[in-house]
Amino acid sequence: MFWLIRFALLLAVFAQLKLSLGRRDFSVVFDACEVLETTKFCDMNCSISDSKRVTYYWNILERASKYGFGIKMFGKTSGLKEHVKIFEHSVDDICPLLSKSKSGNIFLLILDELKKYAKLPKCPVEKDTYHLKDYSFPAERLPAYAPEGEFLLIFDAFGYAMNGTYHKFASYSLKCSIQSKLNPFRNKKGA
């Protein structure tokens, strides 16, 4: 009988606190975006809304047989003064990945999100305007190992002209943070 009372008490406590080992009470907040470089092949712009959602427009100015991009991710937790590189990946030809849905590493996770919410070019790439509008990354898609902190992502987009020559299209950055919704010390005045 005593164990039943303890079990009921523990169940009530866990239900009240809504604790779960798998629960992620985090939000992903986009803080800033910047176009670092454009070329004669691509013009682009980006913005962050008041609701901390990101919008990108890519205006592709010349056809390309295929395209790819690289991503560098830097992180900074509360104990660090500088961002530290935590991830770098590049794909020369993204065309085969556009038809597949894969999760695993952070690069493929970002690509899956882009495929769902953006107008991305197909291969070959036609002259057109492509976009990611008013986007917010869902925190439940974060891997369990993603820590709270500030992150800087740098993207390099490139393509291959119809004659096969390689050209850089653009470089852009995105600053974001992963914040705990349950952290009582975040955003306190004077802290």
**Two tokens at 80?**
């660090």
Domain assignment present for residue 60? The answer is yes
Instruction: Choose between 180 and 106: higher pLDDT.
Output: 180
Q: What is the pLDDT of residue 164?
A: 86
The pLDDT tens digits of the residues spanning 134-152 come to 999 887 777 777 778 899 9
The count of other CB atoms within 10 Å of the CB of residue 112 is 17
Burial class from Cβ neighbours inside 10 Å (0-12, 13-18, 19+) for residue 12 reads exposed
pLDDT band for 106, please (50, 70, 90 cuts). low
Domain assignment present for residue 36? The answer is yes
Domain assignment present for residue 83? The answer is yes
Instruction: Choose between 123 and 74: higher pLDDT.
Output: 74
Domain assignment present for residue 4? The answer is no
Q: What is the pTM of this model?
A: 0.74
Alpha carbon of residue 140 to chain centroid: 13
**Two tokens at 93?**
């030809």
The pLDDT tens digits of the residues spanning 153-164 come to 999 999 888 888
For residues 178 and 106, give the distance between their C-alpha atoms in angstroms, rounded to a whole number. Answer: 14
Alpha carbon of residue 65 to chain centroid: 26
Asked whether the predicted pLDDT for residue 188 surpasses 90, the reply is: no
Burial class from Cβ neighbours inside 10 Å (0-12, 13-18, 19+) for residue 178 reads buried
Domain assignment present for residue 135? The answer is yes
CATH number at residue 138: 2.70.220
Domain assignment present for residue 70? The answer is yes
Query: How many domains would you assign to the chain?
Result: 1
Domain that holds residue 129: 22-180
Please state, rounded to an integer, the average pLDDT across all residues of the chain: 79
The pLDDT tens digits of the residues spanning 35-66 come to 999 999 999 999 999 999 999 999 999 999 98
The pLDDT tens digits of the residues spanning 65-89 come to 988 889 999 998 777 888 899 889 8
Asked whether the predicted pLDDT for residue 129 surpasses 90, the reply is: yes
Give me the residue label for tokens 């038809």: 99
Contact predicate 68/90, CB 8 Å: yes
Q: Which of 6-15, 85-94, 120-129, 170-179 is the least confident region?
A: 6-15
Domain assignment present for residue 1? The answer is no
Asked whether the predicted pLDDT for residue 168 surpasses 80, the reply is: yes
Amino acid identity for residue 84 in this structure: V
The share of the chain scoring above pLDDT 70, in percent, equals 77
Three-state SS sequence of 131-160: EEEEECCCHHHCCCCCCCEEEEEEEEEEEE
Domain assignment present for residue 66? The answer is yes
Q: What is the pLDDT of residue 182?
A: 64
**Two tokens at 17?**
């606190």
For residues 120 and 90, give the distance between their C-alpha atoms in angstroms, rounded to a whole number. Answer: 17
Across residues 4-18, what is the average pLDDT? 40
The count of other CB atoms within 10 Å of the CB of residue 159 is 28
Give the SS3 label for residue 73.
strand
Q: What is the pLDDT of residue 87?
A: 85
